[in-house]
Amino acid sequence: MHAHVLYELGCATFLTAPATTIEHLQRAMSMPGLDRATRVDAVWRLSQALLHNNQLEEAVRMVEAEAARHEPGPIRLRLQAVQYMWESLHAGEPISANRSERLAELAAGCAGRDNSERALLILRGFDVMTRGESAEEVVELCDRALVNGRLAPGLGWTDTEWGIELLLMLAAAYAYTDRLDRAEALCTEAVRAYETAGWSGGHLALAHAYVGLAHRRRGRLREAEEALRESLRLAERVGRGLPMYWTVSCNLVDTLLARGHVAEAWEAAERCGFAPPYPSTIIIPDPRSVRGRLLLALGRTKEGIGELETAEKAAAVRGHHNPVTVPWAADLARALATEDPERAARLAAEVRRRAERFGTDTAIGEALRCAAALETGQRKVRLLAQAVTYLEASPCQYEHAAARVEYGIAIHSAAELERGLALARSCGADGLVTRARDALNAEHGLPQSAY
């Protein structure tokens, strides 16, 4: 009975105290008394708690050892899926060799017949997305993991068999493949489910964070900031420095930068400890890229370039080449445009190649904006015109607004600038509003404050 009591204690503290949960569950598993099903569930919960406590490698090794104890079948498949899930979130060198290839092979035989198969389809979709492969394949894999467009029974937000991480990976995969309708629906459903169930810990904090991410991607920057500040308030209760806290702070800094609130972004970064060393789990978007962008915005160019070059190395280690989730290259190209134009041009060309491989309107449009930043004259105009076309078809309206304003400036068009200004205002992109307004005043020969 002692082992069962410790297991129940671990379940009771799971939402609010990862370190306490780890202690209870490790003690429960060290003694006899847990039946097979309960032990597997204890392993699953313990691995989650280790992840939340920034002990990801330990979680992977424990699940791998437990999977080896079981014969091929549903239990072993579930544990293998959990192992791949945690490995997918590891920020350093791959824990095991050829993980993506083995995951692809395992997922290839999955038709979504049960939740283990659905989990593997989601994991494969997330892996394809982070590696910057085909966005079309990502969506196809994720859609196969749903049942009539909805989460399968047993895979809901408050179901404990698989947990929140898998569903957040699904939401992220949709968010970064321009399927923001589905991503937003999933995240809004998560908040509603947790509030209804009375869950006010880390799960609700992450749900609000991903609602903020969906708003940020769509270009609703005011709403994104509001959701992320609520997420930060909840995350503070669970503990600073944990992966969850990093997710919230990274997305908040990214959103404030998009709004043009650079001083507020720096204040948030300082208050949240958004600086190296980084956590052992991957954060989306990439925190090194976001911090590099922040330093560039502050005029600390040398430090910003150094941070972006660190992001380049970290992405190469993991094979993460999605130019939208790990956007270091575009910012680095712009930063090097004057100092090292040849390298900047190579980076911009690589961004475009990777964007076309991924294939979303957002990725290609942003790559064209990056290329245009390095050009002048008609070449710049043509690239910006193409960027506007792609981003107008994208659901990411902040990026569309930025391209529209840049195009209006390039061709000295008041009409294009007015369209860009209207878009920027609707997004809550105050810095972009100021830029567009100043350009319009210049076109009309008015003082900066007039328009």
For 182-204, give the DSSP string. Answer: HHHHHHHHHHHHHHHHT--SHHH
What span, in angstroms and rounded, lies between the C-alpha atoms of 222 and 215?
A: 8
| Full residue range of the structural domain in which residue 408 is found | 360-451
Do the domain assignments include residue 117?
A: no
Check if the beta carbon of residue 72 is closer than 8 Å to that of residue 43. no
Calpha distance 258→222 (Å, rounded): 10
Q: Is residue 405 predicted with pLDDT exceeding 90?
A: yes
Give me the number of domains the chain comprises. Answer: 1
pLDDT higher at 214 or 443 = 214
Question: 32-68 pLDDT, tens per residue?
Answer: 989 988 998 999 899 989 988 888 889 989 999 999 9
Q: Tell me if 372 is assigned to some domain.
A: yes
SS3 383: helix
Residue indicated by tokens 């193409």:
386
Residue 207 located in a structural domain: no
Q: Output Rg (C-alpha) for the chain, integer angstroms.
A: 23
Mean pLDDT of 358-366: 98
> Has residue 292 been placed in a domain?
no
pLDDT cut 90: percent of the chain above it: 76
pLDDT of residue 161: 83
In this model, does residue 127 exceed pLDDT 60? yes
431 located within any domain: yes
Cβ-proximal residues to 82 (8 Å cutoff; 6+ apart), any chain: 44, 47, 63
Confidence label for 102 from pLDDT (cuts 50, 70 and 90)? confident
The reported pTM is 0.91
Q: Which of 19-33, 302-316, 340-354, 373-387 has the lowest mean pLDDT?
A: 19-33
pLDDT score of 280: 83
Query: Is 318 within the bounds of a domain?
Result: no
Q: Is the pLDDT of residue 259 over 60?
A: yes
Which of 116, 134, 114, 115 has its CA nearest to residue 125? 134
Determine the Cα–Cα distance for residues 387 and 406; give it in Å rounded to an integer.
Answer: 10
Query: φ, ψ for residue 281 (rounded to 5)?
Result: -105, 150
What tokens does 367 get? 């790559």
Residue 80: which pLDDT band, with cuts at 50, 70 and 90? confident
State residue 13's pLDDT score.
Answer: 86
The tens digit of pLDDT for each residue in 342-360 reads: 999 999 999 999 999 999 9
CB-based contact 96:87 (threshold 8 Å): yes
Whole-angstrom distance, CA of residue 182 vs CA of residue 138? 13
What tokens were used for 246?
């990093």
pLDDT band of 95, cuts 50, 70, 90: low
What per-residue confidence (pLDDT) applies to 448?
56
Query: Is-contact 257 294, C-beta < 8 A?
Result: yes
Residue 412 lies in a domain: yes
Cα(81)–Cα(106) distance, integer angstroms: 9
Q: Is the pLDDT of residue 226 over 60?
A: yes
Predicted confidence at residue 14, as pLDDT, reads: 80
pLDDT in tens, 145-183: 999 999 999 999 999 888 899 999 999 999 999 999 999
Whether 297 is covered by a domain: the verdict is no
- Residues ≥6 apart with Cβ < 8 Å to 43: 29, 62, 63, 66, 79
Mean pLDDT computed over 226-240: 93
Half-sphere exposure of 58 (CA within 13 A, CB side): 12
- CA-nearest of 305, 311, 289, 308 to 340 is 305
Cα(172)–Cα(177) distance, integer angstroms: 9
Residue-level pLDDT at 123? 95
Are 174 and 139 a contacting pair, CB within 8 Å? yes
